[in-house]
């Protein structure tokens, strides 16, 4: 990898993780919180999108269709969230299984609540 002038070992062409960290400014292993916040924002946005069908257009979009869309989209978002965090932490000694587990369980409870009590 070619680094900008002033980074890396002089003449050897190699780069260390410290050089890359200085270039980027922050290591990705420390961004679990940001990815978790983004995951929850995506779930809330998905609910907001399906809520238009639940409350604003109930005659045009059946409730069961909205629930199906909400469940499927949340499953896709959850798989993406787990993939992002696990790839981000690959090769490091970080372990975010507790945060991932709490977020996935929270998302499951939220989806079940919405599917059971909203729009019926």
Asked if 62 and 81 sit in the same domain, the reply is: yes
Question: How confident is residue 110, by pLDDT bands cut at 50, 70 and 90?
Answer: very high
Asked if 20 and 36 sit in the same domain, the reply is: no
Buried b (16+ CB within 10 A) or exposed e, 7-28: ebeeeeeeeeeebeeeeeeeeb
Answer with the residue of higher pLDDT: 30 or 81: 81
Q: Token pair for residue 2? A: 């070619």
| Whole-number pLDDT of residue 57 | 84
Q: Rounded to two decimals, what is the model's pTM? A: 0.74
| Domain ranges, residue 71 | 31-117
Asked if 23 and 40 sit in the same domain, the reply is: no
> Is 36's pLDDT higher than 60?
yes
State how many domains the chain has: 2
Asked if 22 and 42 sit in the same domain, the reply is: no
Highest mean pLDDT of the ranges 28-37, 58-67, 69-78: 69-78
């Amino acid at each position: 990898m070619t680094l900008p002038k002033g980074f890396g070992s002089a003449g050897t062409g190699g780069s260390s993780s410290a050089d890359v960290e200085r270039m980027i400014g922050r290591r990705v292993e420390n961004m679990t919180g940001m990815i978790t916040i983004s995951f929850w924002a995506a779930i809330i946005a998905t609910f907001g999108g399906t809520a238009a069908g639940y409350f604003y257009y109930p005659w045009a979009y059946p409730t069961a269709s909205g629930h199906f869309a909400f469940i499927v989209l949340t499953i896709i978002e959850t798989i993406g969230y787990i993939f992002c965090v696990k790839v981000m932490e690959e090769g490091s000694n970080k372990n975010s299984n507790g945060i991932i587990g709490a977020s996935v369980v929270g998302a499951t409870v939220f989806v079940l609540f919405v599917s059971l009590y909203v729009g019926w």
